[in-house]
Every structure is written in C-alpha cells, then in structure tokens.
A = this chain, B = another copy of it.
Amino acid sequence: MPGPTLRDVAKRANVSIRTVSNVVNGYAPVSDELRVRVQAALDELDYRPNLIARNLKQGRTGMIALAVPELDVPYFAELVREVITAARAHGYVVMVDQTDGDLERERELLGRDSRATMFDGLLLSPLAISADELRGRGNRVPVVLLGEHIFNGSFHHVAIDNVAAAREATEHLLALGRRRVAAIGDQPYATGETAQLRTIGYRQAHARRGLDVDDRLVVPTPRFHRRLGAEAMERLLALPDPPDAVLCYNDLLALGAMRALTRAGRRIPDDIAVVGIDDIEEGQYSTPSLTTVAPDKAEIARRAVGVLLQSINGAAPQPAEIVVPHRLVVRESTAG
C-alpha cells in the first residue's frame, strides 16, 4: 500500500510536481487558484510526504539516537522521558536503544553496520566502552555522552558533579551525628569512573571533618541494582561493628539496602540512616521515603540535546564538560 506521491497529486491537479511540492511546503509564490486546486487534490488522495525521500535529499533525518544501559532502570527511564521531551521541543524524535552495558552493543552503535547513518546524532550513556575506543572510531555523526565516564575533552559530556554530590550526601549523614557511615556501590576498575568519583566525594566529606574511613565499610557492587544493594547491606550488617548510616551510589541500591534492613528488623533511620543518589520517583513512596541527591534530569536532557543539535548544525562549540546542578532532598530515611 504505497501511498500517493507528489507525482500522483500533480497529475490529478494538472500541475507540475514542483508546484505541488511548493504547496505542501508553503514555499514560494503560488497563485490562490492553483493553491486551492492542488490542496483539493492533496486532500482527495490523502497525500503524505515520504520522509525518507525528503531526508535523502536534505541529508538529515530529524532523528537522534539515545542509547542507555537499561531502560527499566528507573533513572534511565526518567532520563529517556526528559530527552524525548527535550528533543520534541526542537522537532526531533528519538530512537531509543539499550546496550545492557554490553561492550559489543555499545560498539555496534558506532560500528560500520550500525544504523547510525539514519540518525543526525547520538546520545550515549556508556558503561563498557573505553575512551580510546570511542575516540578511535571515525564517527560520522556527532556524539554527546551522558553521565558515566570521563572523556578528557574529546566529547561533549553532560553530568552532575559526582564528587560534590557524594560529598554533600555524606556530610549530611555526618552532620546528623552518624560516625560509621558506609558506602555501597564503589567500582574500583576501569569503567567504574562515576562510582569512583562518588567514592572520592565520600572520602572528602570524612577528610574535611578529620575523620578516618573504615575501608570495610566501602562495599563495591558490579552494577547498581536493588538486589546488589540488599546483598551489600547484609554483608555490612554482618560486621562486628555495623554502620549507623549508609551512602548508596544510587537509589536502587538504597532501596535494596532498605529492604534488607527492614527484613533484618533494623529501624530506619533510628538504627541506620540511608541516602541514595538519583531521586527516582519510587524513593518518594518507599517506606520510609528515601533521602537522595537529585540531579536536574530535565536540565541534563535539555543541555545534552541542545549541544547535540548545535553539533549537528555545525554550530558546535568545543567539546565541553557540562555540569548540571543537583540538590540534596531530605526525606524520612535520614530525618530521624
């Protein structure tokens, strides 16, 4: 069922293809008489422009690709939503892909046979791919990185100040008088740069008060999921001298940790206070509700889309680290 083309409409209205095109696009001077006649033909045939052809001619598609590790991780779902909204404001639509944090999938996005040529630009939230490899690939389309990873100056990169975020969250716990503050989510290996930044912030907060960090309280997790947060918490509870507060490197870890605490009969925040990072909606409705560091997700999306579109339009400033604001949201899990 291929729809009617400009040619069909032109034949019916007895005008040139070009004139129909002009009517469709509101271009150029077209006499009222013809305009009416052509419009009638358009309506009768229910003409819809073939965007593929238009794109081929114009060299752009009006689509950007957005690749995140996991769509059903609430933080990413909320981010995707904001990106779609931001892109929409500029007349762009978004092709969403998930990489599962899988190196191969991330490579595919940039590789020879990818569908990348269908998109005017790529927003990538990388987990596995290395900076060098990213740079090495002769990308045809502009790329903007989201959140994870630091890519010293080769790419535009949008994120919050992770060191400050973790530091402020930790300071909040210390200010409550807690003295054994644990950290869940460190990733002391190549691709865990975001986690490492948060660990730095966590240590800074201690250092500023002249406090030592008990390294047994820093529990690494390979990913940021509820189950891993619960397991990490169980390990912490098994210590001879368990923590009285915990900074989780994202809200899912925190929710998992709270689940483990409740199951173990610990009271939150009385026995142990919990802080997360991300401010996912779920944290407002958990029991207890979750204190967290809220990145300005809408702003992340706006900035990322904005700089990507600038690059697409050739008005690209130098690749820059774009830092988006965040703020601490105090709820029941530390409001004891």
Chain A residues within CB distance 8 Å of chain B: 1-3, 46, 48-53, 55-56, 59, 61-63, 70-72, 74, 77-78, 80-81, 84, 93-98, 112, 115-118, 138, 140, 226, 230, 255-256, 258-259, 262, 281-282, 284-287
A96 and B80 alpha carbons, distance in the complex (Å): 9
Taking the closest CB of chain B, its distance from the CB of A295, in whole angstroms, is 15
Instruction: Verify A52–B285 contact, CB threshold 8 A.
Output: no
Instruction: Verify A3–B52 contact, CB threshold 8 A.
Output: no
**A284 proximity list for chain B (CB < 8 A):** 226
Taking the closest CB of chain B, its distance from the CB of A72, in whole angstroms, is 5
Other A-B pairs beyond A52-B61, A62-B115, 18, CB < 8 Å: A46-B112, A48-B117, A48-B140, A49-B117, A52-B117, A52-B118, A56-B56, A70-B81, A71-B84, A74-B77, A77-B77, A93-B95, A93-B97, A95-B95, A256-B285, A259-B286, A262-B287, A286-B287
Taking the closest CB of chain B, its distance from the CB of A333, in whole angstroms, is 12
Residue picked from A53, A140, A285, most chain B C-beta under 10 Å: A285
* Identity of the chain B residue whose Cβ is nearest the Cβ of A54 in the assembled complex: B117
Instruction: Verify B74–A72 contact, CB threshold 8 A.
Output: yes
Contact of A115 among B93, B138, B256 (CB under 8 A): B93
Provide 29 A-B residue pairs closer than 8 Å at the C-beta atoms, listed in order of the A residue.
A3-B140, A46-B112, A46-B138, A48-B140, A49-B117, A51-B115, A51-B118, A52-B52, A52-B55, A52-B61, A53-B56, A55-B118, A63-B118, A71-B71, A71-B84, A72-B80, A72-B281, A74-B77, A80-B96, A81-B98, A84-B97, A93-B95, A94-B95, A94-B96, A95-B95, A226-B281, A255-B285, A258-B287, A259-B286
Taking the closest CB of chain B, its distance from the CB of A221, in whole angstroms, is 15
Number of copies: 2
Contact of A74 among B2, B74, B80 (CB under 8 A): B74
* Identity of the chain B residue whose Cβ is nearest the Cβ of A43 in the assembled complex: B112
* Identity of the chain B residue whose Cβ is nearest the Cβ of A77 in the assembled complex: B77
Instruction: Verify B84–A77 contact, CB threshold 8 A.
Output: no
Enumerate the 9 nearest inter-chain pairs by beta-carbon distance, A residue then B residue, closest first: A77-B77, A96-B96, A71-B81, A72-B78, A226-B285, A72-B77, A262-B287, A51-B117, A52-B56
Taking the closest CB of chain B, its distance from the CB of A233, in whole angstroms, is 12
Taking the closest CB of chain B, its distance from the CB of A19, in whole angstroms, is 19
A259 and B97 alpha carbons, distance in the complex (Å): 33
Taking the closest CB of chain B, its distance from the CB of A31, in whole angstroms, is 23
A3 and B116 alpha carbons, distance in the complex (Å): 12
Taking the closest CB of chain B, its distance from the CB of A120, in whole angstroms, is 11
A50 and B286 alpha carbons, distance in the complex (Å): 48
**A95 proximity list for chain B (CB < 8 A):** 63, 93-96
Beyond A48-B140, A84-B96, A95-B94, whether A2 also contacts B71 by CB under 8 A is no
**A259 proximity list for chain B (CB < 8 A):** 285-287
A308 and B53 alpha carbons, distance in the complex (Å): 24
**A59 proximity list for chain B (CB < 8 A):** 2
Residue picked from A1, A51, A55, A226, most chain B C-beta under 10 Å: A51
* Identity of the chain B residue whose Cβ is nearest the Cβ of A61 in the assembled complex: B52
**A55 proximity list for chain B (CB < 8 A):** 52, 118
